[in-house]
Structure 1
Amino acid sequence: MPPRSEEPRRDPTGSRRGSSRGGRGADPRSGEPGVGGISDARAYTPRGRTIREGGGVARSAPTGGAEQRRTPRSSRSGDPFRPALQVLDGGRAGAGRTGRRETAAGGRAGVVRTVSPRPAREPFDDDEAPAPRRRPGPRRPDRPAARRPSRKPRRPPKLADPRRRLRLGTLLALTLFAAIGIRLVFLQTVDTPAYADGGVTDRLAVVDLPAPRGAILDRTGARLAHSVEARYVFADPTRVKDRFATARLLSPLLGVPASDLAGKMKPRKLPTGNPSQFEYLARGVEIGKAKQIMALDLAGIGVHRDERREVPGGDLGANLIGFVSQDMVGLEGLEAKYDDLLQGQAGKKTYEVGQGDLAAPIPGGYSQTTQPKPGSSLELTIDRDLQFQTQRILTAQMAQTRGSVGAAVIIDVATGEVLAQASNPTYDAVDPEGSRPTDREDAATSFVVDPGSIHKAITYGAALQEGVITPDTTFPVANTITKGDTTFRDTHPANGQKMSIPGMLAFSSNVGTIEIADKLGRDRLIDYQKRFGLGQPTGEGMPGEASGRLLPADQWSLSSEGSVPIGHSVDATPLQMAAAYAAIANNGTYVQPHLIKEVIGPDGKKSPGPVPITRSVLSPQNAAALRTMLEAVTTVDGPDGRATGLAAAVPGYRVAGKTGTGLRYSDGRLQPGEVGSFIGMAPAEHPRYVVAVFVWSPGGEGGAVAAPAFREMMGYTLRHYRVPPSATSRSPKFEVFPR
């Protein structure tokens, strides 16, 4: 828009045109109303503000050749467009005026003072509009000047700075991204294992990999018990469609009641809250039956590699070896005693599986396998062939009795190794559930009895070692002797005759033995009982071995002076008594009996078993003298009588030993019947083996069984190990009643 000229425009009449409405803008001289023109419209600035906002029309007279400037009417003139213009102007009246004129008093036109226009105010100007300037001049007396109210111009509202908004928005966006980035770092580094584990756990399957259980071998390496490959059958309860129908199909193949199988297939929750996907149905299933089960193609039923314990001999050494559960845990015998060593360490396979119908290993998913570590094997001192023959002989001899219990032990004299250890009754270790608990006991270590006359060898050995007697000692022996309230008698009365020490052993004289013990004394006798291994477990290696019991010296009664020396008021096991005779055979040195020869690791490396405890009990000379005297038990047969152990003699070999008749107590109660026993060694001139046989029978037939059983066992043992007969030496001639 071109700038407006400073020269006021004039009409043709030479008078200035004003803008007036309603007569307020009329010329005072003519009273004609002013006629509005284009100048009224041009009087507004491009921003919509008037050059002057006031009351009345500026009028000028042609004085002094001064140019007259038109001024617009004020807002009070009733201009209908004024409110809109005020809105456009920011709501402030009188802003942006470019000049002001005042008239002289009396209504006459005065000199018009032109005020140089000020630049229009921008809405962003912070300075206040200056107060309107008034011109000096006389006031019209008839019309006082109108007083305008003093108004403080309002400041226009400030608009927001877009740059500040941009900076604030940028800062907020960066803060948000920084927080997200930090959280992502924590998720990817710090919290990764926790979140990963939480997700993987829900889809992991775990399968145990059983470790092959170690074998139990005899001294030659022959297997007495070992594990063979088998299968276990398992169920995934989440996939089994009809557990009752499935159980009915599996029951005849597994030999397990259908109700038990259905119960195992019932869905259940694990401690983690997840459903169980693995339940054992049977262990040690034969491979053939496992194939039949797989052929049924039952939903949720699977088969995996397992092992089964196999005992080739059935009842061979069953009371020693024991048995295991279906989970391959030792329950009795050596299987239980050395379970930790035999069972090894099981492995485990953990892998990801799908859910639902896709319950199969996920290719490329998480999978970890810990290989099982096989168990170690035990090599026993037992000889399988000798064990078999010992059991056979014992069973055959005991067939003559009813409701009896028998035990037999064979010991290598020099080493203390137990070559055979048999019990009767016995059981089939393949099917232990079909036997009674008493049938599974090892009688050699758990059968506690009064040893009876076989204890006399300990009394005579102590007397020899202490110098109370010699091999040539003789003295008169009465038929009876009373100790306290008990009278002791001999089964072979001497009638007061002198008897030799071999004669006393051959006829098992109670009176002669008690008289020797009186000279020995209770304290020394108890000391030798302990040296020979009585009153404490031997530590052979069997679990639950009984310790027996010795009567302390301060608890002896008057009758104990007679009962203890002849083997009563003493509790011992067959193994303890066998070890005591082995000390006599081993030139007076006691060697702890033991069953474990070697331990064979998973890598095949062999480690010897524990070193047996040894101690000296008798001197070699006294031990040899006692052995010679004990030969009388199996050889004396003449006009003076027959020895008690003739039935134990082994043709071709010199045998030294002793018969015994004792009692059995169970839970502190005396049991009916008697315990017949025989313990001997051969060849007597240089003993190699000791055999002990104990038989308890309610009818008292044990004595008739023990000696013949010994003869057969010792004869087989000597032939089995190819021991030469005693052809070059004969047993001495014993005189029972020397003249």
Structure 2
Amino acid sequence: MAPRSDEPRRDPKGARRGSSREVGPTDGEPRTGEPGIGGISGARAYTPRGRTVREERGTPPRSVGAEQRRTPRSTRSGDPFRPALQVLDGGRAAARSGRRDAPAAGRGGVVRTVAPRTPRGPGHEEPPPRRRTTPRRADRPAARRPSRKPPRPPKLADSRLRLRLGTALALTLFATIGIRLIFLQAVDTPAYAGGGTAARTRTVELPAPRGAIYDSTGAPLVRSVEARYVFADPTEVEDQASTAKALSPLLAIPASKLAELLKPRKLEDGKESRFVYLARGVEISAAKQVQALELPGIGVHRDERRDVPGGDLAANLIGFTSQDMVGLEGLEARYDDVLAGQDGKRVYEAGRRDLDAAIPGGYSRTTPAKPGSSLCLTIDRDLQFRTQQILSEGMAKLRGGTGAAVIMEIPSGAVLAQASNPTYSAAKPTDSTPVAREDAATSFVVDPGSVHKAITYGAALQEGVITPDTTLPIANSIKMGDTWFSDTHQANGKRMSIPGMLAYSSNVGTITIAEKLGKDRLIDYQKRFGLGKPTGEGMPGEASGRLLPADEWSESSHGSVPIGHSVDATPLQMAAAYATIANNGTYVQPHLIKEVIGPDGKRTPAPAPITRSVLSPQNAAALRTMLEAVTTVDHATGVTAAVPGYRVAGKTGTGSRVVNGKIDTDKVSSFIGMAPAENPRYVIAVFAYAPGGGGAVVANTAFRDMMQFTLRHYRVPPSTGGSAPKFVVYPR
């Protein structure tokens, strides 16, 4: 290797290196510029040529141009300018060459300038300048690329890309959380809040008391009272036999029945039954004794039961309810929607297990129970009791019989009493039979018999077929079609007055008058008097009866229909027909409901009854007078129904009913009358069915006793118009 020279190295043109800006490789002329300008920009612009490998080994270069075109590898050399260039370049050149002493790339906090070494001598030859790293000017020819590129370091990840990706992920995460929070707070809040509340809430039913039923004076016929029910959880009962034995005297239920109820049983879904009623409507005092026993699996809870102070008083009218307070029969069933209230409930938050109590300040909502409304009937409790008593006494003489009695007020049409026999106790309906629970006044359908004759005579009067003074020759019998109709009181062809025909209940006289009236007009008046359809009194299941249509009449029907056969009617329908006569010819719908009393005590009167004109007042008064002959004429059919001190107008009847698909002929006796006859206040109808006969005596005497009590109960003064007129049966 040639020794270093103390003089600075010059290019072929003699220019001193480092004294001015870089000399172009083609012309060798120095660039114009300020000598001595230093600094970072000047240092970066100065790029000395490095030595070639051949120079390192002492081999002379081929030429100056070749030297300039060759880019030497980074080696350790004694170039005095190399350290300064390495520092000014930030260590990048050294880093690329792989030198150990190179500073880390990118470290540029402090730039240190290293002075060039002093030339060693005239014979010293400087290494060629390194190639420029800055882009070459366009006026210079491009240098030859090195034959071998230095190895590049592995490409590092871009920190900016990582930052952007992380930011995007963070924003996405926060946006997702924000959207979810919005849904939780705004959209899903009710569902989650409701679900949480439902898990903590308890519901307690607040039963609504059922409305009462009162009589016209406000006395209770039936009402609801607080009670208790006793239940059992069979899965928790330890000893069935001993538990049943302990409960039997308190619940008045046989121990054997209780033991059967306490046996474990499975439900339809296969699970064990955990609830069974042992008794309903238990008295509170008895329920407290049950609780005091502290029997495992036995519990007591609030209940309601119907209290019937009168027992069987108006039981066939009132009916009864189930243990769940649902009306099953009678007015309890017909007006169940009025009597039944609306149960309330209390929903509140409670703790768990031993803290199962309302949380103070927690959710609590109470829906008050709405008690049912009450019914005020037109029934008079005292009159109802006496009517039932009289009917029962009379029917006790007839085995297997059925009796019915109706008392109506004139002119209102209100039903003051309505009795049936047999009867039952509404407090214990399970101990009775279906027949005993029927209301005979509205379900007892019969051929009314001779009590129907008042309708025939009333129609004939109104149509002018007869007058109160009419007399007709009456034979002992009359044939209609293939049927003979006879009289029990034979006239033997004599002329008979209308009052006489009613007094002796002449079939022949009635049929003769009906023939003059005609079937069409007779049917029309039957309908006007209220036959052929339910009265709408208020009882459920009221029978409508049936009228024989004109096109179904046979020849014998002309004889049977006028005297009350081939006609189906109920005692109540016939009572309403006679009330029309008593009310000066105006029909008034019979009714049981006086008013409805709301839970707040407000009284709402019942809808006004249906009314219609059937007879003129004059004809109605004339008919009433003629009907007095039934209770005043010697040997008349209704003499035993007369009430001392009062004028009574009425009519007896003997009809039939269908029993087991067969007609039981002439076994239904009846009497329907009104008093005082000159100004009627009440109408009473009594029907008695006796399989063995003899009902006429019961009906007449029962009517007399009922009317006598009714007149005295309401303090009706005796008849002021004197006694009934003297009737002539067979005028000359």
Aligned-partner Cα distance in 2 for 1:234–1:189: 46
CA contact 1:414–1:586 (8 Å) conserved in 2: yes
Equivalent residues of 2:441, 2:570 under 8 A apart: yes
Query: In structure 1, what is the Cα distance between the partners aligned to 2:211 and 2:433?
Result: 27
Q: Structure 1: where are the runs of 5+ without partners? A: 10-49, 62-70, 77-84, 97-109, 135-147
C-alpha deviation, 1:179, in angstroms: 1.2
The CA deviation string for residues 493-514 of structure 1, in whole angstroms up to 9 with x for no partner, is 1111111111111110001100
Residue in structure 2 matching 1:150, options 137, 147, 152:
147
- CA 133–435 in structure 1, closer or farther in 2 if over 3 Å, else same: same
Amino acid at match of 2:667: E
Match of 1:734 among 708, 727, 731: 727
Q: Given that residues 5 and 125 in structure 2 are in contact (C-alpha distance below 8 angstroms), is that contact kept between their aligned partners in structure 1?
A: no
**Does the aligned pair in 2 maintain the 1:412–1:688 contact within 8 Å?**
yes
Aligned 1:403-552 pairs, distance under 5 A = 403-552=400-549
Q: Closer, same or farther in 2 for the Cα pair 1:680/1:112, shift >3 Å?
A: same
Which residue number in structure 2 is paired with residue 335 of structure 1? 332
The whole-number CA distance in structure 1 between the counterparts of 2:509 and 2:73 is 166
TM-score (norm 2): 0.80
Which amino acid in the other structure matches residue 334 of structure 2? K
* Pick aligned residue for 1:691 from 679, 684, 694: 684
Q: 1:720: which partner in 2?
A: 713
Q: Residue in 2 aligned with 1:344?
A: 341
1:603 to 577, 600, 604: 600
Separation of aligned partners in 2, 1:285 and 1:264: 24
Letter in 2 for 1:179: T
Whole-Å Cα distance in 2 between the matches of residues 192 and 557 of structure 1? 81
The verdict on how the C-alpha distance between 1:131 and 1:311 changes in structure 2, with shifts beyond 3 A counting, is farther
One-letter code aligned to 1:651: P
Query: Structure 1 vs Structure 2: percent identity of aligned residues?
Result: 69
Q: Higher mean Cα deviation, 561-570 or 175-184?
A: 175-184
Corresponding letter in the other structure for 1:664:
R
Tell me the CA shift for residue 409 of structure 1.
Answer: 0.2
In structure 2, relative to structure 1, the CA distance for the partners of 1:309 and 1:56 (3 Å cut) is same
Which range moves more in the overlay, 620-629 or 280-289? 280-289
What is the letter of the counterpart of residue 737 of structure 1? Answer: Y
Alpha-carbon distance, 1:264 to partner: 9.2
Distance 1:209 1:606 in 2: 25
Corresponding residue for residue 59 of structure 1: 58
How far 1:361 moved relative to its partner? 4.4
Structure 1 residues 73, 390: CA separation in 2 closer, same or farther (over 3 Å shift)? Answer: closer
Q: Offset at 1:164? A: 3.8
Q: Confirm or deny: 8 A CA contact 1:218 1:383 kept in the other structure.
A: yes
Q: Quote the Cα distance in structure 2 between the aligned partners of 1:235 and 1:188.
A: 46
Q: State the SS of the aligned residue for 1:437.
A: coil
Q: Does 1:114 align with 2:127?
A: yes
Q: Could you tell me how far apart the structure 2 residues matched to 1:434 and 1:643 are?
A: 43
Q: 2:646 aligns with which of 643, 648, 653?
A: 653
Residue number in structure 2 paired with 1:682? 675
1:389 aligns with 2:386: yes
Partner of 2:693: 700
C-alpha spacing 1:413/1:562, structure 2 compared with 1 (3 Å): same
CA distance in 2, matches of 1:395, 1:609: 31
Q: What's the CA shift for 1:610?
A: 1.3
Segments of 5+ residues of structure 2 without an aligned counterpart are 9-48, 61-70, 77-90, 103-122
Q: Is the 8 A contact 1:237 1:267 kept in 2?
A: no
The Cα of 1:258 is off from its aligned counterpart by 3.0
Q: Please, which of 201, 205, 210 is the counterpart of residue 198 of structure 2? A: 201
Which of 698, 702, 705 is the aligned partner of 1:709?
Answer: 702
1:673-714 superposed Cα distances (whole Å, 9 cap, x missing partner)? 600000000001111000000000110121121000000000
Pick closer, same or farther for the CA change 1:86–1:610 going to 2, 3 Å: closer
Deviations 1:557-608 (A, max 9, x none): 0000000000000000000000000000011111000000011111111111
TM-score in terms of structure 1 length: 0.79
How far residue 414 of structure 1 moved from its aligned partner, in angstroms, is: 0.5
CA distance in 2, matches of 1:258, 1:6: 133
Indicate the SS of the match to 2:652.
Answer: strand
Residue 258 of structure 1 corresponds to: 258
How far is the alpha carbon of 1:383 from its aligned partner? 0.3
Task: Describe the shift of the 1:529–1:132 C-alpha distance in structure 2 as closer, same or farther (beyond 3 A).
Answer: closer
How far 1:720 moved relative to its partner?
0.3
What displacement does 1:165 show? Answer: 2.4
User: Which residue is 2:284 aligned to?
Assistant: 287
**CA shift for structure 1 position 472:** 0.8
Distance 1:569 1:295, change over 3 A: same
Instruction: Decide which moves more: 617-626 or 244-253.
Output: 244-253
Query: In structure 1, how many angstroms separate the alpha carbons of the residues matched to 2:263 and 2:347?
Result: 26
Q: Is the 8 A contact 2:232 2:262 kept in 1?
A: no
- The residue type equivalent to 2:371 in the other structure is P
Q: CA deviation at 1:317?
A: 0.1
Aligned to 1:232: 229
CA distance 1:177–1:252, change in 2 (3 Å): farther
Contact 2:228/2:281, CA 8 A, preserved across alignment? yes
SS of alignment partner, residue 350 of structure 1: strand
Q: 2:616 aligns with which of 615, 619, 622?
A: 619
Residue 56 of structure 1: how far off its partner (Å): 7.1
Distance between the aligned counterparts of 1:156 and 1:74, measured in 2?
Answer: 15
Relative to structure 1, is the Cα distance of residues 460 and 731 closer, same or farther in structure 2, using a 3 angstrom cutoff? same
Shift of 1:207: 2.5
Q: Does the C-alpha gap of structure 1 residues 133 and 149 become closer, same or farther in structure 2, counting only changes over 3 Å?
A: closer
Distance in structure 2 (CA, Å) of the matches to 1:131 and 1:303? 115
Flag the 1:565–1:364 CA change in 2: closer, same or farther, 3 A: same
CA–CA separation in structure 2 for the residues paired with 1:706 and 1:478: 29
Asked if the contact 2:96–2:150 (Cα under 8 Å) also holds between the matched residues in 1, the reply is no
> Residues 107-143 of structure 1: CA distance to partner in whole angstroms, max 9, x if unpaired?
xxx9945323569x8xxx999xx99979xxxxxxxxx
> In the superposition, relative to structure 1, how do residues 720 and 390 fare at CA in structure 2: closer, same or farther (>3 Å)?
same
Contact 2:6 2:124 in 1 (8 A): no
- 2:328 is paired with a residue of what secondary structure? coil
| Count of aligned pairs between the two proteins | 640
1:137 corresponds to: none
> What SS is found at the alignment partner of 2:324?
coil
2:604 match: secondary structure = strand
Superposed displacement of residue 671, structure 1: 3.3
| Cα distance change of structure 1 residues 56 and 375 upon mapping to structure 2, 3 Å threshold | same
Q: Distance in 1 between matches of 2:242 and 2:207?
A: 26
Correspondences of 1:45-84 after superposition (within 5 Å): 54=53, 57-59=56-58
Counterpart amino acid of residue 331 in structure 1: L
- Following superposition, the deviation at residue 228 of structure 1 comes to 1.2
Given the superposition, is the C-alpha separation of residues 708 and 6 from structure 1 closer, same or farther in structure 2, using an over 3 Å criterion?
farther
Q: How far apart, in 1, do the equivalents of 2:409 and 2:722 lie?
A: 22
8 Å contact kept, 2:264–2:273: no
Which position in structure 2 is the counterpart of 1:25? none
CA offset at residue 729 of structure 1? 1.0
Maintained 8 Å contact 2:229/2:302? yes
Map 1:294-373 → 2, pairs under 5 A:
294-298=291-295, 301-356=298-353, 359-373=356-370
User: How much has 1:156 moved relative to structure 2?
Assistant: 3.3
Which stretch shifts more, 157-166 or 474-483? 157-166
For residue 695 of structure 2, what is the amino acid of its counterpart? G
What code does the residue aligned with 1:730 have? Answer: S
Q: Would you say the 8 A contact 2:97–2:150 is kept in 1?
A: no
SS at match of 1:306: strand
Contact 2:214 2:375 (8 Å CA) reproduced? yes
Single out whichever of 583-592 and 666-675 deviates more from structure 2.
666-675
1:55–1:74 Cα contact (<8 Å) kept: no
